[in-house]
Amino acid sequence: MSSKIKSLKYNGKWDFSPSIESIKDISLKKEYQLFINGQFQKPISKKYFPSINPSNEQQLTKIAHAESKDVDLAVNSARNAFNGHWGKLPAKERAKYIYRIARIIQEKSKELAIVETLDGGKPIRESRDVDIPLAAAHFFYYAGWADKLQYAFPNRTPKPLGVVGQIIPWNFPLMMAAWKIAPALATGNTVVLKPAETTSITALLLAEIIQQAELPPGVVNIITGDGSTGELIVNHPDVNKIAFTGSTKVGKSIMQSISSTNKRSTMELGGKAANIIFEDAPLDQAVEGVINGIYFNQGHVCCAGSRLFVQESVYELVLRKLKDRMQSLVVGNPLDKNTDIGAINSKEQLSTINKYIDLGVKEGADIFQLNCELPNGGYWCPPTLFTNVSQSHSIANEEIFGPVLAVQTFRTTQEVINKANNTPFGLSAGVWTDKGSKAFNLASKLKAGVIWANTYNKFDPTSPFGGYKESGHGREGGLHGLSPYLNLE
Ligand code: NDP
C-alpha cells in the first residue's frame, strides 16, 4: 500500500516574502514596577529581573521582583478594596468597569499583540487573532454576568469570596490574566495576580489599562516575581482563594500548602490529550486539526493534542498527509505574519523539549522533523513527530509542552478509548469522524474535561474549560467559571 501513496513535493515553491510587523510604535519602559493599590510602586526588595525576547535573546526590559513585604502590601490593598468601596458597589456599576477594560484592550490590541509576541515568542498571527481578541472577549462576557448572578444561581444568594490570589503561566500571558481577572471582578472579589517570570509585560500593560479604566485602587493588584512570589501569595493568611494555571507538580505543592486552610482553589494543570482520527473522518480537515492541535503556540498549550491515534486502515495515508503538511510550516521570526511556528518561550523550556526528543529516540520511536533552517540566536525547535511509539514511551505519557507529536494506531473503538484514557491527565481530547453517534459515544467515554469533535483548540468565553485527574479541578469560562469565585448560600 505504501508504494502507491504519493507525496506532495513543495520544493520551496511555497516561499513567502517576509511581512514583518513593525515595532516602531512600541516603546517599552526600562523598568516595570509592581501595580499595588492602583499605583505603580518600586519593590521594597529593590530587586529586578530581566525579561528576554526568546527569538533573539535580547533583553526587553527589567521587571520588579516582589518579596514578602510587597505581597503583604498587595494583599492588604485588595482586602481594603474588598471591605471598602468595591464590596459595596452595585453589581451593574462593577460591570461598567469590566466593559471599560474590555474596550481598552480592543483599542490597544495591536500594541498588546506585538508585545505578547516579543516577550513570549509566539507568532504575531496568533497573538493578534487569538490571544488578544479572546482576552477582550472574556472581559466582555463576564461583564455581562456581573448584575445577573441571581439568575445564574436561582434560589441561592451568591456572595464573593474576598481576596483571590491568581497565578498564571507563560503560554498565554494576557489571555490567562483575562480568564482569571474577569470572572473574579464580575463576582465582586478583589485580586492579587502574579504572571509568569518570563512573560510579565502584557500583564503590566493590563495594569495600565486597569488604571485608565479608573477601576478603584486595590481591586486588582498585579505583582511580578518568580515561583517564590507565587508561594508567598499561596501561603498568605488573608487570601481566600487560589486560582492557579501551570504545571501539575506546582499545582500539587499548592494543594498541599493550602490543605490545612479553608482557602478555596481552582487548578488548571497539565495535559496529554488524545487526538483520534477514525477511518471515516474527513482526512484533510483532520490533518489540519492535528497540525493546529500540536503546533499551535509551539505546542506550549496545556490542551495540546500531543498524542495522535490513527485508525490502522488510514494510517499510512494520514501520515503522508501529515508529513506533507508539516513541510509547509514556516518556522522563524515570530513578528513575520507568515510564521506558523515561533520561538520556544525560554532556554529552560527548550532544554526540556530537547530532553524529551532525545528520550523518544533512545526509547526506540522513529523521529520525523521538518527539514528547515532555524534562525541564529534565540530558542527554536522544528515541528517534530514520532511514529513507532508504544504506550509505555515517555513521549506518550509525559507532558512535553513543545511541538512534539507522538503517533500511535488503533483498530477498534474500544481499543482507542482504553489507550486514550491510559494517562494520569484528563484535560482535553479530539475526535475526527463522519458519524455523529461515534463522536457522542467517544465524548461520553473519554475522561477529559473538554472534547472537540471535528475541530481542535477552539476556545470561547461562554464555554467551560478544565480537567479531571492530574489535569486539575474547577472550571474556567462560561457559567461554570462563576461559581468557583462565589459562596452560594
Ligand atoms: P510552573 O507551574 O512552574 O509555573 C506556573 C506559574 O506558577 C508561574 O507563574 C510560576 O512562576 C508560578 N510558580 C512556580 N512555582 C511556584 C510555587 N511553588 N508556588 C506558587 N507559584 C509558583 O510552570 P513552568 O512555567 O515552570 O512550566 C513547567 C511545565 O509546566 C511546562 O513544561 C509544562 O509542562 C507545564 N505548564 C503547564 C501549563 C498549563 O497551562 N497547564 C502552563 C505552563 C506550564 P514563575 O514563572 O515566575 O516561576
**Each residue of 21-49: pLDDT tens digit?**
999 989 999 999 999 999 999 999 899 99
List, as one string, the DSSP characters of 219-231.
SEEE----HHHHH
Strand order in the sheet with 31-32: 31-32, 58-64, 48-53
Rounded Cα–Cα distance for residues 114 and 120 (Å)? 10
**Each residue of 275-314: pLDDT tens digit?**
999 999 999 999 999 999 999 999 999 999 999 999 999 9
Terminal alpha carbon distance of the chain: 64
Calculate how far, in angstroms, residue 471's C-alpha sits from the geometric centre of ligand 1.
Answer: 13
Measured by CA distance, the residue closest to atom 32 of ligand 1 is 401
440 band by pLDDT with thresholds 50, 70 and 90:
very high
List, as one string, the DSSP characters of 431-466.
EE-S-HHHHHHHHHHS--SEEEES--S---TTS-B-
List, as one string, the DSSP characters of 385-406.
EEES--TTSHHHHS---SSEEE
- Cβ–ligand 1 distance for 227 under 6 Å, the answer yes
Question: Quick one: how many helices (H) and strands (E) in the chain?
Answer: 17, 20
80 band by pLDDT with thresholds 50, 70 and 90:
very high
- Cβ–ligand 1 distance for 449 under 6 Å, the answer no
Rounded Cα–Cα distance for residues 489 and 487 (Å)? 6
- Cβ–ligand 1 distance for 352 under 6 Å, the answer yes
Among residues 401, 360, 482, the alpha carbon closest in space to that of 91 is found at 482
Give the angle 178-234-188 at the CA atoms, nearest 5°.
Answer: 45
Compute how many other C-beta atoms are within 10 angstroms of the C-beta atom of residue 25. Answer: 8
Atom of ligand 1 nearest to the CA of 234: 20
- Cβ–ligand 1 distance for 230 under 6 Å, the answer yes
Rounded Cα–Cα distance for residues 355 and 166 (Å)? 30
Single-letter amino acid, residue 482: L
pTM: 0.95
φ and ψ at residue 214, rounded to 5 degrees: 60, 35
Calculate how far, in angstroms, residue 171's C-alpha sits from the geometric centre of ligand 1.
Answer: 10
Single-letter amino acid, residue 413: T
Compute how many other C-beta atoms are within 10 angstroms of the C-beta atom of residue 67. Answer: 18
**Each residue of 347-372: pLDDT tens digit?**
999 999 999 999 999 999 999 999 88
Cell numbers placing 377: 540566536
